[in-house]
Amino acid sequence: MEKKIATIGWSRLLIVALMIAVGYILYNQGNIPFLIGGEVLLLVVLVCTVIYHNKLINKRIKVERFLEINEKGVKRISGEFRTIEDDGSEYINDSHPFSSDIDIFGKSSLFQLINDTLTKGGREKLVSNLSLKKLPTKEIIEKKQEAIKELGEKIKWRQELLVKGKTTIKNKKKETQELEAFLTWSKEKKEKGISKKLVAYVFIAITFLSIVLSIIKIIPPSYILLVLLINFAVIKLITKDYKEDLEMFNSIKHTIKSYAEILELIEKEEFKSEYLKGIKDKLKSDTSNSCGEEMKKLSNLLDWIGDSSGNAYYLIINIFIFSDIFIVENLEDWRSQNSKELEVWIDVISEIDALSSISNIYFDFDKFTFPKISDKKEVKGKAIGHPLIGEKAVRNDYSLSNNKRVTLITGSNMSGKSTFLRTIGLNLLLSYIGAPVYSDNFTCGIFNIYTCMRTKDNLEENISSFYAEILRIKILIEATKKGEDVFFLLDEIFKGTNSLDRHIGATELIKQLINGGAIGLVSTHDLDLCNLEESDNRIENYNFREYYEDNKIKFDYKLRVGKSETQNAIHLMKLAGIEFK
């Protein structure tokens, strides 16, 4: 394909050189009829060559996109998704209730694993889903589950969707600016005034009449050049107020073409799930016009737009047939007919795009299952694994249900406490966005997730890690006071203070959270905290352990009931070279 494209590219250059040579020779010979006829013939050959060349390039892009899609899928399955360049780092927000603590965005994140969006709108909707900007109802989650399962099974359709969007998201910032400019244009209203097409028809007639008169030698050939110069001036005068619009459309025309093809795919597809049907129904309008067809009309119209300042081919065509005038007039007609629907169409594309991306989880991972959404305050599951670790993850059974409200997890350093907290948090989030989870059987209620795990110093704001932790705890407590259904994940709370204050603070916090109706997990090295289980049956102890082989510390990462009976800090200190007497 590359060889063929290169050959045709050189052919284009050869035809242009031939046009110049033929024009020069015939003009010097004074053979004007052959000059005009030869140039027109070569122009037709050039246009046909350009069209064929573009088709080959588009075909190559399509093949490249299919390769990219499937290579990305293989990376997700093999655990090499961490090498995918787009990790959503720009969405990292340390003040978010949970996203930074459980790896939603950034390197080795959930976003990096599942994101396959092809539009900026789809990307933003995926980010909104993963950020839980709006906590869904049980009904919405169950409808989304059906939609994601259906999309996951439509692998050929989804891949075709991704290929249709091949030209988008190459430059996220640029695409955002272009779409915003496009939507702004669609809402503008300009006075039409005198028909621009009528002016164009008059000057086109004058141009071709001049050519005929020149051929039959009634007027000199030089007169044609004067007419073309006048044409150029008229075009610039009439379209001067549309210069920015034409430049914007010249830049965005490939994206519009992709959007037209995506809308056509969505319109033609028969969906079974109620959620997908509801999204598709938004495309219906009072008019009989298909949104896919309307966007295709716009795309076909934009194919005629060229950069007359840097494209000699387009400049020649423009001054002969006034293409800019017709484009401007037709754009005005399109805007008046479709401006009200445009935002809805783009929103539908974005929704399908985001759901399609999430459905990668269902298609790629056989061991993921859809969770059951409970009306109770509970979280429980069999063989629960960390979604980002995949096949290497040690999977554990876990239950926080019935009258249980807090799980205290103890264990030695590196035994798996923090990873387990993230395991529960990530699977909860997957449940709420309608995705399958990494568990054989997972049940959960609907909660707002709050975490306090990775607090750190903020030198710019003069905040210590301990104070940062206090601020996150404050947000958590305020959420319970507002009556939110809260699920919390707390990792080594109050580690920035002395052991006595840490124990007292943690004890009172856990009691306050339980009384406020919250449930969750707390990991701790404070074994005395485990005594709370004896005085409050709503608290239950779990632990992780280490073992030793050949004087080497090892972990099985298995969750066990009860408090930890092992410690490894002294052993690790010895490995560091500290000598104990």
pLDDT in tens, the chain (581 residues): 889 999 988 888 898 888 888 888 887 887 777 878 888 888 888 888 888 888 898 888 888 888 988 999 999 999 899 999 899 999 999 889 999 999 999 999 999 999 999 888 899 999 999 999 889 999 999 999 999 999 999 999 999 998 877 654 455 566 667 778 888 888 887 666 567 778 888 888 888 888 888 888 788 877 888 888 888 888 888 877 777 888 888 888 888 888 898 999 999 999 999 999 999 999 987 665 789 888 989 988 888 776 544 566 677 777 888 877 888 888 888 988 888 889 999 999 999 999 999 999 999 999 999 999 999 999 999 999 999 998 899 999 999 999 999 999 998 888 899 999 999 999 999 999 999 999 999 999 999 999 999 866 454 454 567 778 888 999 999 999 999 999 999 998 887 677 888 899 999 999 999 999 999 999 998 889 999 999 999 999 999 988 878 777 888 999 999 998 776 666 666 666 677 76
Cβ neighbors of 541 (< 8 A, separation 6 or more) are: 407, 408, 409, 410, 530, 533, 561, 562, 563
d(CA 493, CA 470): 9
What pLDDT, on a 0 to 100 scale, did the predictor assign at position 463? 58
What pLDDT, on a 0 to 100 scale, did the predictor assign at position 318? 77
d(CA 350, CA 442): 29
**DSSP characters for 383-394?**
EE--TTTGGGSP
What pLDDT, on a 0 to 100 scale, did the predictor assign at position 581? 66
The SS3 assignment for 567 reads coil
What pLDDT, on a 0 to 100 scale, did the predictor assign at position 418? 94
β-pairing, 519-523 vs 486-491, is parallel
β-pairing, 560-561 vs 539-544, is antiparallel
Q: Token match 């479709």: residue?
A: 338
**pTM attached to this predicted model:** 0.83
Give the residue ranges of DSSP H helices in 137-242.
Answer: 138-153, 155-164, 172-187, 196-215, 222-238
Between the alpha carbon of residue 25 and those of residues 22, 30, 277, the distances in Å are: 5, 9, 65
What pLDDT, on a 0 to 100 scale, did the predictor assign at position 309? 47
d(CA 387, CA 390): 5
What pLDDT, on a 0 to 100 scale, did the predictor assign at position 174? 64
What pLDDT, on a 0 to 100 scale, did the predictor assign at position 25? 83
d(CA 411, CA 544): 5
Contact 304, 151 (CB under 8 A): no
Q: Token match 């359709």: residue?
A: 157
How is residue 371 annotated by DSSP?
P
What pLDDT, on a 0 to 100 scale, did the predictor assign at position 193? 58
Cβ neighbors of 537 (< 8 A, separation 6 or more) are: 403
Between the alpha carbon of residue 21 and those of residues 29, 34, 223, the distances in Å are: 12, 13, 22
How is residue 541 annotated by DSSP?
E
